[in-house]
Structure 1
Amino acid sequence: MISRVYRATLFALYQLCIVIGIVAMPFAIATRQAGLSLPIHRLLSNVEQAYETAHAQ
C-alpha cells in the first residue's frame, strides 16, 4: 500500500515539475538570452528517474 502511495506521489511530483517547466519557459528564454540558465531539466530528470525506479519495483 505504501509503495502505491509513493508511486502516486512521485507521479504527481513529476507532473508538477512538467507544469512548472512549461510555465517557466518564457522566464527561461529571457534568462538564456541574458547568459544564464535554469536547472529545471535536472530536477525533472531526477524526479523522472525516481518515478521509473519506483514503477519498476
Structure 2
Amino acid sequence: MISRVYHATLFALYQLCIVIGIAAMPLAIAARQAGVTLPIHRILGNLEEAYEASHT
C-alpha cells in the first residue's frame, strides 16, 4: 500500500515538474539570454530516476 502511495506521489511530482517547466519557459528563455540557467532539468532528471526506480 505504501509503495502505491509512494509511486503515485512520485508520478504526481514528476508531472507537476513538467508543468512548471513548461509554464516557466518564457522565464527560462529570458534567464538564458541574461546568462543564467535554471536547474529545472536537474530536478526533472532526479524525479524521473526516482520514479523509474520505484517502478521496478
Q: Please, what TM-score do these two structures have when normalized by structure 1? A: 0.97
Report the equivalent of 1:34: 34
Q: Sequence identity of aligned pairs in percent?
A: 77
Amino acid in structure 2 at the alignment position of 1:46:
N
Report the equivalent of 1:23: 23
Q: Please, what TM-score do these two structures have when normalized by structure 2? A: 0.98
CA deviation vs aligned residue, 1:11-53 (integer Å, no higher than 9, x gap): 0000000000000000000000001100000000000000000
Amino acid in structure 2 at the alignment position of 1:23:
A
Q: Size of the alignment, in residue pairs?
A: 56
Unaligned runs of 5+ in 1: none
Amino acid in structure 1 at the alignment position of 2:41:
H
Unaligned runs of 5+ in 2: none
